[in-house]
A and B are shown apart, each in its own frame.
Chain A
Amino acid sequence: MRLHPTKPELTARRVEAIGFQVGLQLAERYTKERPRFGDHLEAIKFICKDFWAEVFKKQIDNLKTNHRGVFVLQDNRFRWLTRFSLDAPTSGNGASSGEPNPANAARASQAAGQYLYFPCGLIRGALTNLGVPCAVSAEVSALPACSFIVRIKG
């Protein structure tokens, strides 16, 4: 995030592009022994199960689709966000409170968005190399859960 401190959009694109390259090559590596995928859904299921398990040691928890080329991959405990935490706001005498703060949780969810560009690129790269051109975006509702939205192109 320090590459372009004043231009977050440039950083986002750069990081996503790096993720894309990594995803491309990881997909190559993890499907070495397998035959080609029959259709888009099989490729997405591969991402949800085997790919996610290799990279994050767990599978995607929930897969939804509108059967019109949009898939939502939900991870209820995304490994790279489990330790993500903002500073607690000071309360008067500066003593720390142990109670979770809902406003702080909302800010944390927003800040986490920046750290999801790389995984989006990862998914996009992997799917592109498996023959599924797509666009991937991410949403954080409540840390450490997040969703990746895959929109198939063409």
Chain B
Amino acid sequence: MQAGPGGGVVGSATRMRCLYLFNRQGVCLHYHVWLRPVSVLSRQEDQKLIFGLLFSLKLFTAKMDPVGGGKGQLGAAQLQGQGCSFHSFRTDTYKLSFMETPTGLKLVLITDPKMGDLREAMKHIYSSIYVEYVVKNPLYTPDMPFKCELFNQNLDNYVKTLS
């Protein structure tokens, strides 16, 4: 077992690195890190970079779609499976997975490159962890950044089961 940078203990079997949650406006609601040895940019710049990337990639994939209507609804929320949006990319050192909910919430997961398809996992994180422990928390103001304890605990427990 090795200690992650946050002081939490991360099992060596876990291949998750970080998680970002953005709202429609690009505000990072939550940043969760398990393993990130090298960090080049400041926290703010890093989050802005990721959000900008998502925005550009979604636009690009919609435009390049050979099958779809090509209307490219900028920023409009779409149901899961509708429209054409990228869901992951992979490099030698990491894999970035992306999911957008119909409410415009964007979930980004950075993992070990050998991880398989994480779309089901991201759906679970959204519906059974975020909605249950953040949205249903009486103390939470919607659309604000949060560090909710129950969310953190349940997310860590869930992530331990993935690998």
Given A90-B147, A98-B152, A104-B149, A84 and B137 contact (CB-CB distance below 8 Å): yes
Q: Interface readout for B119-156 with A: 1 if CB under 8 Å, 0 if not?
A: 00000000000001100111100000011111111011
Contact between A83 and B138 (Cβ–Cβ < 8 Å)? yes
**Residue from A84, A98, A100, A108 having most chain B Cβ neighbours under 10 A:** A98
Report how far A86 CA is from B152 CA in the complex, Å: 11
Q: Which of A83, A96, A98 contacts B132 (CB 8 A)?
A: A83
Partner-contacting stretch, out of B2-10, B80-88, B100-108: B2-10
How many chain B residues touch A (CB < 8 A): the figure is 27
The A-contacting residues of B in range 14-32, CB under 8 angstroms, are 30-32
Contact between B153 and A100 (Cβ–Cβ < 8 Å)? yes
Chain B residue nearest to A95 (CB atoms) is: B6
Chain B residue nearest to A111 (CB atoms) is: B139
The B-contacting residues of A in range 97-123, CB under 8 angstroms, are 97-101, 104, 108, 111, 115
Q: Interface readout for A74-106 with B: 1 if CB under 8 Å, 0 if not?
A: 000000100111111011011111111100100
How many chain A residues touch B (CB < 8 A): the figure is 22
Contact between A97 and B8 (Cβ–Cβ < 8 Å)? yes
Q: Interface readout for B64-90 with A: 1 if CB under 8 Å, 0 if not?
A: 000000000000000000000000000
Taking beta carbons and an 8 Å cutoff, which residues of B are in contact with A?
A: 4-8, 30-33, 43, 132-133, 136-139, 146-153, 155-157
Listed by A's residue number, 30 A-B pairs whose Cβ atoms lie within 8 Å are A80-B138, A83-B133, A83-B137, A83-B138, A84-B139, A85-B133, A85-B148, A85-B150, A86-B148, A87-B147, A87-B148, A88-B147, A88-B148, A88-B152, A90-B147, A91-B7, A95-B32, A96-B6, A97-B7, A97-B8, A98-B6, A98-B8, A98-B152, A98-B156, A99-B7, A100-B149, A101-B149, A104-B149, A111-B139, A115-B138
Taking beta carbons and an 8 Å cutoff, which residues of A are in contact with B?
A: 80, 83-88, 90-91, 93-101, 104, 108, 111, 115
| 6 smallest beta-carbon distances between A and B, as pairs | A95-B6, A98-B156, A85-B150, A87-B147, A83-B136, A98-B8
